[in-house]
Amino acid sequence: GNLHVGVDTLFYINYPSTNHNWLDIGRQGGILIHKLFFQSQYSMFFAQGMALITYLLAAFVLSYLLYSIAEVSAWKSGLFFLFMMIHPVWAEQFYFTLQIFEIAVGVLLTGVALLLAYGEKRWNWIASIVLQMLIFSIYQTFIAIYIAGCILCFLLQYIQETRCGEGKTTARYLKCA
């Protein structure tokens, strides 16, 4: 049968030692993750299974992030993540099975970087910056996704604190930027 279920897998299956020009377009993080998880021959089934598990972990991390910032309930967080994943722009990524796992890792690490950025210790901020360097080298679109995540966290935190009547300094709100 035909196992070519994506738009980019055939080349990588036939030439597993190549980086499929990822280095040329600035995806060093994608190459690193690919080398760490796919030492032997590339298996699109393994990649898709690992991507599913990684997306589920990302959903938990993002749910925890939304809860820790604004006490958003689990079902609302899950609904938010579901709408994010079925959006046509994001769903297009699933046709590129060669990079599906690397993108899933990027989503997971973006949630972790946002959690660290909203931490109280300076160590968290440094760890968040280091993670961001890896995330942005996986896929450059994660820059915009991270910024959107910061804006979402800022707005949720601002709404939560104004609802509770807490007055925070402006520096607290700009910590993520």
Q: pLDDT (tens digit, 9 = 90+) per residue, 109-148?
A: 999 999 999 877 788 888 999 999 999 998 888 899 999 9
Lowest mean pLDDT among 66-70, 80-84, 94-98, 112-116: 94-98
Name the pTM for this structure: 0.80
More confident residue, 1 or 36: 36
pLDDT score recorded for residue 53: 94
pLDDT score recorded for residue 16: 61
Q: Indicate if the pLDDT at residue 153 is higher than 70.
A: yes
Counted residue by residue, the chain has a size of: 177
pLDDT score recorded for residue 18: 66
CA distance 177 to 169: 15
pLDDT score recorded for residue 175: 53
How many CB atoms are located within 10 Å of the residue 38 CB? 17
148-168 average pLDDT score: 80
> Which tokens belong to 177?
């930027």
57-85 average pLDDT score: 87
Q: Indicate if the pLDDT at residue 15 is higher than 90.
A: no
Contacts of 31 (CB under 8 A, 6+ apart): 19, 22, 23
Contacts of 29 (CB under 8 A, 6+ apart): 102, 106, 134, 135, 136, 137, 138, 139
pLDDT score recorded for residue 2: 46
The number of angstroms, rounded, from the C-alpha of 6 to the middle of its chain's C-alpha atoms is: 21
- The alpha helices in the chain, defined as continuous H runs, are 9-14, 28-37, 44-70, 74-86, 88-91, 100-117, 122-138, 142-164, 170-173
Mean pLDDT, the chain, as a whole number? 80
The string of pLDDT tens digits covering residues 92-113 is 777 777 788 888 999 999 999 9
Q: Indicate if the pLDDT at residue 45 is higher than 90.
A: no
Helix 100-117 crosses helix 142-164 at what angle (to 10 degrees)? 40
1 pLDDT band, cuts 50/70/90, is very low
